[in-house]
Structure 1
Amino acid sequence: MDRHAHQLARPVKAAIVGGGWAGIAAAVSLADAGHDITVFEMAPQAGGRARSVAGDPDYDNGQHILIGAYRDSLALMRRLDVSPEAVLERLPLALPYPGEAGLRLPPGPPLVAFTRGVLAHRGWPLAARLRLLAAAGGWLARGFRCDASLSVAQLCAGLPAAVKRDLVEPLCVAALNTPAPQASAQVFLRVLKDALFSGPGSADLLLPRRPLSELLARPAAAWLGERLRTGRRVQCIEPGWRVDGEPFDAVVLACTSVEAARLTAGIAPGWAALARALAFQPIVTVYLHSPGSALPQPMLALREGPDSPAQFVFDHGALGGAPGRFAFVVSGAAPWVERGDCAQAVLAQARRELAWATPPVIERMLTEKRATFACTPGLVRPPGRIAPGLWAAGDYVEGPYPATLEGAVRAGLAAAQGVGGGSGAKGAASGSPTNTPCAGQATLCQ
């Protein structure tokens, strides 16, 4: 054991740079293990990208959902006295389209539920359903592993067009925020494994019934108290470790990959280069308002196309929010951000595809240009460990998931474990280098 490791065997003074879900997970875990923590957050509020809009809590910074497989995220909420049952609407996985029932998974053991759900999908010919089950059986037999160079489109090339259109493509862009032709098949298979086949309820959709900041950011801020310093952008980290001149025993970089690369450029240039090389995919959320209108389900899938940007729509009135407000989500939105007419295109799509009691109007559009990293085949992501006493935590570090809330939380727990054996890190992603080239808000599942 080297000198630094010996020092970390005792309680440490740790700085967490970033107050998003990864930073909150690291802070809570380290504090519960008896360490002295300080969280630096450059924004005026905690929560990172998964929060309500500053100064306007009626709106979330994009539509987020969780799934039943997000066990560490749900455990963190409970640790901060937030009841997931009270703030999240749990629904069995279903992908209904306007006027179509779509795929629905019944309760029961995962394999049985998936098989029953696919066979019951009358919108697909029987031959298409059987081909999907055969493909899923092959993925299961291979342990949900594939060549790291494959894209999702290549992995699923043999599936019927209707299955790709109604299931594979929407799930891929929702989970990876990367279109199927550019998305990593390896990561997609890991998402399917954990969501669809890891246990009863793992695929359930958990839709927020409260403003997003109430799920974690505000309870965390109250719990941290003076240990949280908002409106504070860290300018410099020096070996030793000093954060803007203030001494610490260890540092967790739970900020964005861009900020982490800036702060580590002179300390770990190789790591900083990996972080800097990540490309990004945007997400656009368009809020429409239509008094008196309601969707037949709290969430509907939509078929995107050249004139139809949105892949999903959420009825906030059905989820305990503002009646008549609908959130349309455009994932993998780079082409629409470049075009500049996304809101108008969503409005036209909504008018064509849905029934309205009153004409919908654009209420607000929120664009997150760096919503997630582009989860492409063979992508090499930076490891969680940067140097002795210096760790990275975020949805972009090495791990088995794309850019999701669960990936962020697990990265925070892994960093806490690396710094000082933080509590709650058991079972989290290791945070150390792995052989998984691209693993990890998903977008909808952020």
Structure 2
Amino acid sequence: MKVAIVGGGWAGISAAVTLADVGHELTVFEMAPQLGGRARSVAGAPDYDNGQHILIGAYGDSLALIRRLGVDPEQVLTRLPLALPYPGEPGLQLHPGPPLIAFARGVLAHRGWPLGARLGLLAAAGGWLARGFRCGEQLSVAELCAGLPAVVKRDLVEPLCVAALNTPAPQASARVFLRVLRDALFSGAGSADLLLPRRPLSALLAGPATAWLGERLRLGARVRQIEPGWRVDGEPFDAVVLACTSVEAARLTASIAPVWSATAQGLGFEPIITVYLHSPGSALPSPMLALREGADAPAQFVFDHGALGGAAGRFAFVVSGAAPWVARGGCGEAVLAQATRELHWATPPVIDKVLTEKRATFACTPGLARPPACVAPGLWAAGDYIDGPYPATLEGAVRAGRTAAQGVAAGGGRGANGAASGSPTNTPCAGQATLRQ
């Protein structure tokens, strides 16, 4: 089939590779001058990323996609056992080995928590495991963890929640949070490992994908209209994958699938602010440190780019769930004060760059209605916001792209003459439930 893919982020790249590998003809439309979506290097400043992104060992589909494009993950990612050290404190550390044993040993060895707090966490985790890491749709992370000791909520639950869901614990979906914990902590050896980029983000996927797609890629091409049939700005295709943002997808489907469009349009968003500081000669005791958020302390994590093979003396401070700080006009100076107060520096740090993604992720709230992957026969959507088990993560985007591509391949499309293409026995939207698995 001749397939149009609208959007060249990680979801669009995933869909393109999946479809091309089974022989379909592709055209990828990307409105930006480069691929990568919200996980890319900054245009005009390729040594900077548009935010600090990480992967974990459980992100098998993302790692497979990176390999498929000819990149060795071991060369571009630093793998570290999960650890949440704080300035001057070792924090929780998991050692290699069977995940259940490693988690129990790591919690019991955490001398910064009283014994009662450690045992309380293990009891709660055992309960989650016994229930298959499932809970009610309307439960928030704060409600799920209400019985945990305050120190565990402060040092583990709240930073993990905002890092994974980019939504504060009182407003975050417990069901999605538990799924992330299940896959990260209990799906196999190394699944909880942190995979930190040591090359600019575009070197991981966007750059190799650009070369791989070649003439099939149209950069700087914003799609204006999609018509049933399917026509993309008048050009006929057998099927279309919408791998653009939810806002763009809602615009393009408003007249084709108004109910789907309204669901996509109804999603809320959470911002992320990344503050890059520069301090020649300085280094952190670990490539990543957790920080305690507070009224005058915006950042929850800091990354030492010099320790990750990047620019020495550059540090990325991440402010997730940053809506209050965006409303106040930013937090560069507040992060600088937090860094000066809480960390040791060889030279006084200065603000290098502040990047704000106002729509970094959808707000992952309890009971959230997310649009399904299938919009209409021959029209599929892919993105980290599509209905599925994950929050807005790179893995969620890659899986959504693969699911949409599989749906196109399995269900055929509808060509410009309105006749169904593909096998006549295929049903519309076949494979729609794949993403839920």
Q: Tell me the TM-score range normalised by the shorter chain.
A: over 0.9
Which aligned pairs between 1:141-160 and structure 2 lie closer than 5 A? 141-160=130-149
Amino acid in the other structure paired with 1:177: N
Among all aligned residue pairs of Structure 1 and Structure 2, give the percentage whose two residues are the same amino acid.
Answer: 82
Deviations 1:348-398 (A, max 9, x none): 000010000000000000000000000000001000000000000000001
> What root-mean-square deviation, in Å, do the aligned CA atoms of Structure 1 and Structure 2 show?
1.3
Residue aligned with 1:101, SS:
strand
Whether contact under 8 Å (1:283, 1:367) holds in the other structure is yes
User: Of 199, 208, 211, which aligns to 1:219?
Assistant: 208
Which aligned pairs between 1:435-446 and structure 2 lie closer than 5 A? none
Q: Which residue number in structure 1 is paired with residue 390 of structure 2? A: 401
Distance 1:132 1:393 in 2: 36
User: Are residue 322 (structure 1) and residue 311 (structure 2) matched?
Assistant: yes
User: Are residue 61 (structure 1) and residue 50 (structure 2) matched?
Assistant: yes
Q: In the TM superposition, what is the alpha-carbon distance from 1:55 to its structure 2 partner?
A: 1.2
Deviations 1:29-64 (A, max 9, x none): 100000000000000000000000011101001000
Q: In the TM superposition, what is the alpha-carbon distance from 1:341 to its structure 2 partner?
A: 3.9
Residue aligned with 1:399, SS:
coil
User: Are residue 332 (structure 1) and residue 331 (structure 2) matched?
Assistant: no
Q: Which residue number in structure 2 is paired with residue 31 of structure 1? A: 20
Q: In the TM superposition, what is the alpha-carbon distance from 1:433 to its structure 2 partner?
A: 5.4
User: Are residue 113 (structure 1) and residue 113 (structure 2) matched?
Assistant: no
* Dislocated runs of 4+, deviation >3 Å: 433-436
Q: Which residue number in structure 1 is paired with residue 5 of structure 2? A: 16
Whether contact under 8 Å (2:276, 2:315) holds in the other structure is yes
Distance 2:50 2:401 in 1: 21
Amino acid in the other structure paired with 1:13: K
Amino acid in the other structure paired with 1:285: T
User: Are residue 132 (structure 1) and residue 118 (structure 2) matched?
Assistant: no
Distance 2:14 2:89 in 1: 40
Deviations 1:233-269 (A, max 9, x none): 0000000000000000000000000000000000000
Amino acid in the other structure paired with 1:29: T
Q: Which residue number in structure 2 is paired with residue 412 of structure 1? A: 401
Whether contact under 8 Å (2:400, 2:435) holds in the other structure is no
Unaligned runs of 5+ in 2: 412-429
Q: Which residue number in structure 2 is paired with residue 270 of structure 1? A: 259
User: Of 176, 180, 195, which aligns to 1:187?
Assistant: 176
Residue aligned with 2:195, SS:
strand
Residue aligned with 2:432, SS:
coil
Whether contact under 8 Å (2:399, 2:435) holds in the other structure is no
Residue aligned with 2:47, SS:
strand
Q: Which residue number in structure 2 is paired with residue 172 of structure 1? A: 161
Whether contact under 8 Å (1:398, 1:434) holds in the other structure is no
Which aligned pairs between 1:351-362 and structure 2 lie closer than 5 A? 351-362=340-351
Amino acid in the other structure paired with 1:298: P
Amino acid in the other structure paired with 1:41: E
Distance 2:330 2:358 in 1: 15
Deviations 1:186-224 (A, max 9, x none): 000000000000000000000000000000000000000
Residue aligned with 1:314, SS:
strand
Q: TM-score, normalised by structure 2?
A: 0.95
Amino acid in the other structure paired with 2:245: T
User: Are residue 371 (structure 1) and residue 367 (structure 2) matched?
Assistant: no
Residue aligned with 2:256, SS:
coil
Q: Which residue number in structure 2 is paired with residue 288 of structure 1? A: 277
Whether contact under 8 Å (1:62, 1:285) holds in the other structure is yes
Q: Which residue number in structure 2 is paired with residue 5 of structure 1? A: none
Whether contact under 8 Å (1:310, 1:330) holds in the other structure is yes
Unaligned runs of 5+ in 1: 1-11, 423-429, 440-446
Distance 1:435 1:200 in 2: 23
Whether contact under 8 Å (2:387, 2:435) holds in the other structure is no
How many matched pairs?
419
Whether contact under 8 Å (2:410, 2:431) holds in the other structure is no
Whether contact under 8 Å (1:151, 1:182) holds in the other structure is yes
Whether contact under 8 Å (2:99, 2:186) holds in the other structure is yes
Q: In the TM superposition, what is the alpha-carbon distance from 1:434 to its structure 2 partner?
A: 8.9
Distance 1:211 1:125 in 2: 40
Residue aligned with 1:73, SS:
helix
Residue aligned with 1:287, SS:
strand
Q: TM-score, normalised by structure 1?
A: 0.93
Which aligned pairs between 1:372-387 and structure 2 lie closer than 5 A? 372-387=361-376
Q: In the TM superposition, what is the alpha-carbon distance from 1:340 to its structure 2 partner?
A: 1.5
Change (3 A) 1:17 1:435: closer
Deviations 1:325-348 (A, max 9, x none): 000000000000111140000000
